[in-house]
């Protein structure tokens, strides 16, 4: 049962993103990098995020583009961007082994209001001086995440994982459109992770995710590569699997943006916590989590919260 508990509570990924690119640090709980128990898991979640833009100096700012003597253009934004998102996941844990590893697959379609990423894309498309206010309240399909490679190996107290996933630009996208639901480009996520259990109920994990981005539709813009380090721990309180944990992340852009609309390199830190409770152990569970970001540069950052229900259909 403990193996099942540690990986069910996947939060919202792109749909509560504060940053450029699809992947947001602390998008997984500490045990979620490792392949699930054989069977199906269907999580349903709602997420809310409250974000503000922080400039290259790390200060909250309503000025996205700083004017210079050679380029007097400036763009001021409405400081606060709030998003609401819904997600339905399909997670499959396979039977047997692949290369000696437990394995699984994951598909995540998203339904969301425009994210801070989309607000950022909208603002960078403005070329005249003045103030542009982001007030869109539409709701539509976002980009689709597929993780066909989800492998994990366990030896004694240690576990290791290798994941590969791709974000497909299935959400509506038109260059600098206010009604966009997606980012307009593919992103590849390559992740390695490790976990240790000093005692049976306590686990500590660390993971590194490399995100590689393609060129955006209708433009020559290409988001730079990002490296995210996620870390955290969790504790299982009872034989029924009730669990709580802490997590954190650090994300840094490691290559420059290219093309029209390029921005300065960005970075961000974040910390948070989660708790889960089994209404019916091994069948139905509920989860809540909250993340606070800080030390952001050239990014939207703020507070995100998610609540969800997980339905398990496990093989025996």
H, E, C per residue of 221-245: CECCCEEEEEEEEEEECCCCCCEEE
DSSP state, residue 37: P
Q: Which residue range(s) make up the domain with 172?
A: 2-314
Sign for the pseudo-dihedral over CA of 4, 34, 229, 11 = negative
Is residue 17 very low, low, confident or very high in pLDDT (cuts 50, 70, 90)?
A: very low
Q: Which residue, among 295, 291, 289, has the nearest Cα to 304 in the 3D structure?
A: 291
Provide mean pLDDT across the span 244-261.
91
Q: What is the pLDDT of residue 258?
A: 87
Q: What is the pLDDT of residues 82-92, one digit of tens each?
A: 777 788 889 99
pLDDT score for 71: 56
Averaged pLDDT of the chain: 82
Query: How far is the C-alpha of 74 from the C-alpha of 72, rounded, in Å?
Result: 6
Is residue 208's pLDDT more than 50? yes
Query: What's the domain count of the chain?
Result: 1
pLDDT of residue 9: 38
pTM of the predicted structure, to 2 decimals: 0.84
pLDDT above 70: percentage of residues in the chain: 76
Alpha-carbon distance of 74 to 128, in angstroms, equals: 7
Contacts of 199 (CB under 8 A, 6+ apart): none
Task: Tell me the CATH number at 73.
Answer: 2.40.160.40
Residue 44's Cα: distance from chain center in Å? 16
């Amino acid at each position: 049962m403990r193996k099942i508990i540690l990986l069910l509570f996947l939060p919202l990924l792109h749909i509560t993103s504060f940053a450029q690119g699809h992947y947001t640090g602390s998008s997984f709980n500490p045990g979620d990098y490792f392949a699930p128990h054989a069977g199906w898991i269907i999580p349903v979640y709602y997420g809310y995020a409250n974000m503000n833009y922080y400039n290259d100096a790390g200060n909250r700012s309503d000025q996205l583009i700083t004017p210079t003597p050679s380029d007097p253009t400036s763009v001021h934004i409405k400081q606060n961007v709030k998003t609401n998102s819904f997600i339905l996941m399909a997670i499959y844990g396979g039977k047997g082994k692949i290369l000696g590893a437990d394995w699984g697959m994951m598909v995540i379609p998203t339904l969301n209001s425009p994210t801070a990423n989309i607000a950022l894309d909208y603002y960078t498309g403005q070329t005249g001086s003045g103030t542009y206010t982001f007030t869109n309240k539409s709701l539509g399909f976002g980009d689709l995440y597929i993780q066909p490679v989800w492998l994990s190996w366990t030896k004694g107290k240690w576990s290791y994982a290798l994941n590969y996933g791709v974000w497909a630009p299935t959400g509506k996208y038109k260059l600098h459109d206010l009604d966009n639901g997606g980012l307009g480009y593919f992103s590849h996520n390559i992740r390695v992770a490790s976990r240790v259990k000093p005692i049976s109920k306590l686990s500590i994990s660390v993971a590194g995710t490399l995100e590689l981005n393609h060129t955006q539709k209708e433009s020559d813009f290409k988001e730079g590569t990002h490296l995210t380090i996620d870390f955290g721990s969790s504790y299982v309180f009872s034989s029924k699997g009730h669990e709580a944990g802490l997590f954190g992340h650090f994300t840094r852009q490691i290559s420059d943006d290219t093309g029209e609309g390029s921005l300065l390199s960005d970075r961000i830190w974040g910390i948070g916590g989660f708790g889960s409770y089994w209404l019916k152990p091994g069948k139905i569970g509920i989860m809540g989590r909250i993340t606070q970001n800080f030390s952001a540069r050239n990014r939207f950052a703020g507070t995100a919260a998610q609540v969800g229900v997980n339905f398990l259909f496990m093989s025996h």
